[in-house]
Amino acid sequence: MRDESINYRHGNHSVGLAHVHLVWIPKRRKKVLVGNVKMRLAAILNEVALENDWLVKALEIAPDHVHILVEHGSQVAIHQIVKAMKGRSSRRIRQEFPHLCKLPSLWTRSYYYEATGKVSTAKVTAYINDPHHS
C-alpha cells in the first residue's frame, strides 16, 4: 500500500518514486571545488535538475568530490542524469574559471551511483548533509 504523505511521480502508465545517490570526482582528485567554484557548481547542478524535472534532495560539494541525491522520473536512465550534470557543469565552470582549464578535463569519466529505496533515501540524505565532507 502506498504512503499518502509521499508525492509520487505520475507518468502516463506509471506511478512511483526513484532516487539515485551519485558521487563523482575532479580529474586527478584535485581539490578545486572551493569558494566561488563550489557556489557556482551548486547553482549549475540545481539548474540542470530544474530543467529536466528532477529534484535535488541533497547536495554536498567537498573540495575533491560531489555527492548528490536526485529524485527523477521513470523514463530517465542514471547515465543520462550524470551526463547532463557533469557535461554542463564542466563546460560552464571551465569557461567561468579559466584556471581549471589546466586540468585535461574537470571530471573523471567514472562515477558512483546507488539507487535508493524508502528507508535508505533518508539515510543517504543524512549522510550527504553531514558536515564531515568539508
d(Cα 103, Cα 37) in Å, to the nearest integer? 14
Within-domain flag for 68: yes
pLDDT tens, residue by residue, 10-69: 777 777 788 999 999 999 999 999 999 999 999 999 999 999 999 999 999 999 999 999
Question: Structure pTM?
Answer: 0.84
For residue 83, pLDDT over 70 is answered with yes
The SS3 of residue 16 is strand
Residue 5 falls inside a structural domain: no
Residue 2 in domain: no
Quick check: is 94 in a domain?
yes
Where in the sequence is the domain holding 40, given as residue range(s)?
19-133
Q: Which grid cell is 28?
A: 586527478
Residue 133 has pLDDT above 80, yes or no: no
Average pLDDT over residues 77-105: 96
CA 97 vs CA 48, 114, 119: distances in Å: 19, 31, 39
Considering its fold, how many domains does the chain have in total? 1
What is the pLDDT of the chain when averaged over all its residues? 90
Cβ atoms of 66 and 107 closer than 8 Å: no
User: At 91, which CATH number?
Assistant: 3.30.70.1290
**Neighbour-count burial of 16, counting CB atoms closer than 10 A to its CB (0-12 exposed, 13-18 middle, 19+ buried):** exposed
Say if 51 falls within a structural domain: yes
